Amino acid sequence: MTTTSTAPLGDITGSEAALRGFLAGLPGVDQVGAEARAAMLASRSVKTSAKSYAVDLAISMIDLTTLEGADTAGKVRALAAKALRPDPSDPGCPSVAAVCVYPDLAGTARAALGNSTGHSRVQVASVATAFPSGRASLETKLRDTAEAVAAGADEIDMVIDRGAFLSGHEGRVLDEIVAVKQACRGPGAGRGGEVHLKVILETGELGTYDNVRRASWLAMLAGADFIKTSTGKVQPAATLPVTLVMLEAVRDFRAATGRQVGVKAAGGIRASKDAVRYLVMVNEVTGGDWLDPRWFRFGASGLLNDLLLQRQKLATGHYSGPDHVTLD
Amino acid sequence: MTADRPGDRLTVRKTFKLYIGGAFPRSESGRSFVVRDAEGRFWANAAQASRKDARDAVVAARTAQPGWAARAPYLRGQVLYRVAEVLEGRKAQFAAEVGRGEGLAAPRAEEVVDAAIDRWVWYAGWADKVGQVLGGANPVAGPYFNLSTPEPTGVVAVVAPQESSLLGLVSVVAPVVATGNTVVVIASERVPLPAVTLAEVLATSDVPGGVVNLLTGRVAEIAPWLASHLDVDALDLTGAGGADSDEPTGQLAGELEAAAAENLKRVRRPPVVPEDWTADPGMDRLRWTLEIKTVWHPVGV
């Protein structure tokens, strides 16, 4: 278990030198230990009623995602219908947490999901800031964000500038996140309050767990509401050890500052069994406070179908098949 | 320790495993069961498949099915013929296993193995002829082409005959895969070892992984999961009841047929009189896992 100094964090973001000093001072990650712990937690067996609970919880945590060049308004509407009622044959099946699309389709998604407010509202998440590479000027990124917010996005998934982070310009990364966070409060974001900002670290490009830990703290210090593993466009995407490191970071951040930040594991999670492993890890690392769609999400598309097949198996007692869920 | 005499070797015992998706896993459950020879003496331990092995096998079969069906029928025939070639090379091993398991004297066991290889060749030959025999252009009263084509049903679950561990097995599996289906087969419960050896032959010939998946274990335990599985399209109950099983009352077969009704699987009932596996099989077993698709097309000017 890591312990991070709880020195006053207010001064850290004041200067680049202080920020760099703080991030460099974060304890290193024991790579072998992290991987062994993730593997050990993955060996837990979750059965019967616990499995049923886990499957429903996982469904309610999904950001149902389509991020393809070939996306159309029709595809987004179909996805929205599925998000609201994943299993039309079973009214007891929970809705997913959000639909995640490119900014130009955020309006379509919002319209298809309806404008209901309240707890059961399915959110519209929009990627922004020159997703997935993040290689554009700050003006372009802010414009991208503002458009998504104006179109009705409830959540913005931004990518960090990995090039700047890896070359030691942590201050630039921080300033960008702060600026995008500011744009999330801009005009159009009035409905239901502030737009949530998820910061994608793209851990597959960061190289080491130490970098993942530093980038997590950087994003949280800059005001991220969620830290997210990957875009899904780079391999490796979400892995259990990487998510473990990020969960430790949000746990320690809350201990240090009192502010709770969510985690989103995105990319490469396709099987129910994998999803349940993530939930076990969330419970073990951060505790039950994070076992809620407000604090933990899965970015996935194929995962939902596998969860639905498991759900049907648990309900009927016989194995279901891909003919009994939608083709996405 | 050194051997005292030349020829004193440590025994190298074989692990009899399942065959799923082109790999040889042990049972997910970690269980095994004792296989005895025809005289009731201990022979070996075989993997005892669980419902999850059956589920994995169905997933493997479903994954492999479109690719296998898309191969040109002629190529499928060539691939199956290749299986017969490899079978021929391991004839002695099969004869020994079939003889020991079924209690046949050596000459009789060799005859059975020869018949099994011939049966495989026979069905391999059918792969590119079924279309012409069962399909074709139908005469209709109108300016239309009317064409019927047989297409594979999909994933077929087979309970292999209990008595005839190799010839019976080949006779139920080969026709199903020759026409582009993929198969999950539960081997004879009492004599499963020739089936495992057949799986080794399939793995070392050109048959893609997942086309044939072989489970060993208790029929009464595994078959209900396959019968109720919504991703299985057809169910062959040859070894699950009636004359070719250990359970002549037919109660299990009845229950399996009822479970299969959930998604309207094609079901092949157990034979009423014991099948003579050495007789000319005819086209019956080729036909039952085929769906005839008929299209109408206007004749041009």
pLDDT digits (tens, 9 = 90+) for A105-159: 999 999 999 876 655 689 999 999 999 999 999 999 999 999 999 999 999 999 9
Q: What b/e string do you get for B31-54 counting C-beta neighbours within 10 Å, with b at 16 or more?
A: ebeebebeeeeebbebbbbbbebb
Domain of A171, CATH number, reads 3.20.20.70
ipTM of model: 0.85
Residue B230: closest C-alpha in chain A: A320
Residue B231: closest C-alpha in chain A: A321
For residue A266, being part of any structural domain is answered with yes
The tokens for A234 are 């780079």
| B55–A321 CB contact, under 8 Å | no
Q: Is the pLDDT of residue A3 over 80?
A: no
**Active-site residue A264, yes or no?**
yes
Residues A261 and A226 sit within 8 Å (Cβ to Cβ): yes
Domain count across chain A:
1
The tokens for A239 are 């892995």
For residue A20, being part of any structural domain is answered with no
CA distance A92 to A19: 48
Residue length of chain A? 328
What is the reported pLDDT for A194?
A: 80
For residue A7, being part of any structural domain is answered with no
Residue A317: closest C-alpha in chain B: B228
The tokens for A201 are 């670290």
Q: Exposed/middle/buried for A315, CB within 10 Å: 0-12, 13-18, 19+?
A: middle
Containing domain of residue A294, as a range? Answer: 31-54+123-301
What does each C-alpha distance from A187 to A177, A286, B102 come to in angstroms?
A: 18, 35, 82
Q: Of A161, A228, A274, A306, which one is the catalytic site residue? A: A228
What does each C-alpha distance from A140 to A107, A136, A176, A231, B190 come to in angstroms?
A: 19, 6, 12, 19, 71
Q: Which chain B residues touch A if contact means CB-CB below 8 Å? A: 55, 58, 62, 225, 228-232, 259, 262-263
| CA A59 to mean position of chain CA atoms | 14
- Name the minimum distance, in Å, from the CA of B211 to any CA of chain A: 18
Report pLDDT digits (tens) over A163-190.
999 999 999 999 999 999 999 886 655 4
Q: Collect the ranges in chain B with pLDDT lower than 50.
A: 1
* Mean pLDDT across A279-292: 96
Question: Which phi and psi angles does A299 have, rounded to 5°?
Answer: -95, 110
Q: Calculate the average pLDDT of chain A.
A: 91
**Interchain contact A135–B (C-beta under 8 A):** no
Q: Is the pLDDT of residue A1 over 50?
A: no
Domains assigned to chain B: 32-298 (3.40.605.10)
- Judged by average pLDDT, the poorest of A14-18, A106-110, A192-196 is A192-196
Q: Is the pLDDT of residue A23 over 90?
A: yes
Q: Mark out the alpha helices in chain A (DSSP H runs).
A: 16-25, 31-42, 48-60, 73-84, 106-113, 138-150, 162-166, 170-184, 209-222, 240-257, 272-285, 302-316
Question: Which phi and psi angles does A300 have, rounded to 5°?
Answer: -160, 165
What does each C-alpha distance from A298 to A162, A182, B31 come to in angstroms?
A: 22, 25, 35
Q: Is the pLDDT of residue A277 over 60?
A: yes
For residue A14, being part of any structural domain is answered with no
Residues of B in Cβ contact (< 8 Å) with A317: 228
- Name the minimum distance, in Å, from the CA of B60 to any CA of chain A: 13
| A319–B58 CB contact, under 8 Å | yes
Residues of B in Cβ contact (< 8 Å) with A318: 225, 228-230, 259, 262
Percent of chain A with pLDDT over 90: 85
For residue A91, being part of any structural domain is answered with no
CA distance A46 to A278: 12
- Name the minimum distance, in Å, from the CA of A293 to any CA of chain B: 30
Residue B224: closest C-alpha in chain A: A318
Q: Of A161, A264, A274, A306, which one is the catalytic site residue? A: A264
CB atoms within 10 A of CB B101: 23
What is the reported pLDDT for B57?
A: 98
| B225–A324 CB contact, under 8 Å | no
* Mean pLDDT across A274-291: 96
Residue B262: closest C-alpha in chain A: A318
Q: Which of A318, A323, A324 lies nearest to residue B228, judging by beta carbons?
A: A318
What is the reported pLDDT for B2?
A: 52
**Active-site residue A82, yes or no?**
no
Bond into B194 cis (ω within 30) = no
For residue A18, being part of any structural domain is answered with no
| A318–B58 CB contact, under 8 Å | no
For residue A117, being part of any structural domain is answered with no
For residue A11, being part of any structural domain is answered with no
- Name the minimum distance, in Å, from the CA of A324 to any CA of chain B: 8
What is the reported pLDDT for A114?
A: 85
Under the banding of pLDDT at 50, 70 and 90, the label for residue A6 is: very low
